[in-house]
Structure 1
Amino acid sequence: MEGEEEQGKRAKSALETGSPDDPEFVESGLERVREGVHSLSPLKRGKAYKLSVACVGTGTVKVVIADRAPRSVPCDGVPAGQRVEDAPSRLPIDITAEAGATGMVAWQIISLQS
């Protein structure tokens, strides 16, 4: 069984479509599944963005973006993306473990418009 460090590397590499130096890169992070992600990301109001999430471990995580319906993402290392149209100036992102989930979860926001 791989440890958190290996799981974190796999989760991050599943999302890496660019570097923090790219103009479309906005924000990213890596957390333990059991601690979750609770972010209020600063965006440019009215622009379009893509939030990508990759979880490596066991079980599933629940992803909630702003006031949208929750979405389950399996911890299988396959990235899941969701577009955010007409973004608010601060985007709430909550990623929480569903029952028994373990591992590492990576997330990234990129701009779809320049």
Structure 2
Amino acid sequence: MVEAGAERVADGIHTEPNLSEGKAYKLNLVCFGSGSAQLTFTPGSAGTKTTVPCDQSVVQQRITARKLIRIDVDGAKGSTGVIAWQIDAI
């Protein structure tokens, strides 16, 4: 495990994990509550977002680290609950 945490959907996740350039990682997200959240990476493809439903489903995303990556998960309007996340080296 590289990094993990849990946040309220209203607060979201905003992190710049310390990842080794060129290595592959797996991001696991799960949201408990109602509504959904949107996952975005910076830098990343403009406008590309992944929906994270707040129905206890696990969303996985593979990451290949570059110099710096920022991970943001923001709750949709009216969404409530908790988002748990974990980054593992592959």
- Give the alignment's TM-score, normalised by structure 1: 0.73
State which of 61, 64, 81 in structure 2 corresponds to 1:82.
61
State which of 52, 70, 89 in structure 2 corresponds to 1:92.
70
CA RMSD, 1 decimal: 1.0
Contact 1:51-1:110 at 8 Å conserved across structures: yes
Runs of 4+ in 1 over 3 A off after TM superposition: none
Name structure 1 gaps, 5 residues minimum.
Answer: 1-24
C-alpha separation in 2, matches of 1:70 and 1:76: 18
Task: Say which structure, 1 or 2, has more relative contact order (CA 8 Å, 6+ apart).
Answer: 2
C-alpha separation in 2, matches of 1:55 and 1:65: 18
Number of aligned pairs? 87
Between Structure 1 and Structure 2, whose CA radius of gyration is higher?
A: 1
Identity %: 39
Contact 1:34-1:96 at 8 Å conserved across structures: yes
Name structure 2 gaps, 5 residues minimum.
Answer: none
Residue identity in the other structure for 1:31 = E
C-alpha separation in 2, matches of 1:29 and 1:91: 17
Higher strand share goes to which structure?
2
Residue 17 of structure 1 is matched in structure 2 by none
Contact 1:42-1:89 at 8 Å conserved across structures: no
Residue 33 of structure 2 is matched in structure 1 by 57
Residue 10 of structure 2 is matched in structure 1 by 34
